[in-house]
């Protein structure tokens, strides 16, 4: 019996996940949200430029994130705004995700997928996104992109009345998340 690394999945396993979706559409995952985070590490003019840039890229007003504790070596005080982030859903999420995937060459590492259907990857410079030009007044910013996948029926976990838990069999697994990205978004998982 051979030991297989945690990251690698065979084509048969990915095709099996896709077959289950065709048989039962309630099992097919969908994009719940895309979270875009720009950690600047300082407040002031640079943070305002990053917020303006993030609003241009996503079409949505970002919210500021504050430092949780003071770090003297970095010059950060507790409560100081040091990052901006946006949560995108539905069509905006899919549009931005496609642009971000084009920026990274439609390749994602297998280690970027977790066991619950979430994927995270980074972009070192925002100018790699299609349709974005370098502006010397703004500068260059990197960003982290996190994608959450869920199946229909996850509302049960978030609603106010008769809230309930989602069983493990209905959660999106790592193999299904990889299969979704390969089949639906044409991503090469390495």
Report which of 52, 9, 58, 12 is spatially closest to residue 33, judged by C-alpha positions.
Answer: 58
Q: Which fold has domain 30-149+180-189?
A: 50s Ribosomal Protein L5; Chain: A, (3.30.1440)
pLDDT value at residue 7: 45
pLDDT above 80 (res 163): yes
pLDDT tens digits along 16-51: 877 888 888 888 899 999 999 988 878 888 888 889
Above 50 in pLDDT, residue 82?
yes
pLDDT band at 118 (very low <50, low <70, confident <90, very high): very high
pTM of the model: 0.84
- The residue ranges of every structural domain in the chain are 30-149+180-189
Distance separating alpha carbons of residues 184 and 119, to the nearest angstrom: 15
In this prediction, residues 64-84 reach a mean pLDDT of 85
Ramachandran category for residue 44: left, alpha or beta (phi over 0 → left; psi -120 to 50 → alpha)? left
């Amino acid at each position: 019996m051979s030991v297989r690394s945690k990251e690698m999945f065979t084509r048969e396993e990915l095709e099996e996940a896709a077959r289950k979706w065709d048989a039962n559409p309630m099992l097919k995952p969908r994009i719940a949200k895309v979270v875009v985070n720009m950690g600047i590490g300082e407040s002031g003019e640079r943070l305002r430029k990053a917020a303006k840039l993030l609003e241009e890229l996503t079409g949505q007003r970002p919210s500021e994130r504050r430092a949780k504790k003071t770090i003297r070596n970095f010059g950060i005080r507790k409560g100081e705004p040091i990052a901006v982030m946006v949560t995108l859903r539905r069509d905006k999420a899919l549009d931005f995700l496609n642009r971000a995937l084009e920026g990274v060459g439609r390749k994602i590492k297998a280690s970027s997928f977790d066991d619950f259907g979430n994927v995270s990857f980074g972009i070192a410079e925002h100018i790699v996104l299609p349709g974005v030009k370098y502006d010397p007044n703004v500068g260059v910013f990197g960003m982290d992109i996190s994608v959450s996948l869920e199946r229909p029926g996850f509302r049960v976990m978030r609603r106010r009345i008769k809230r309930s838990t989602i069983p493990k069999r209905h959660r999106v697994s790592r193999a299904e998340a990889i299969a979704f990205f390969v089949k639906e978004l044409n991503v090469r998982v390495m």
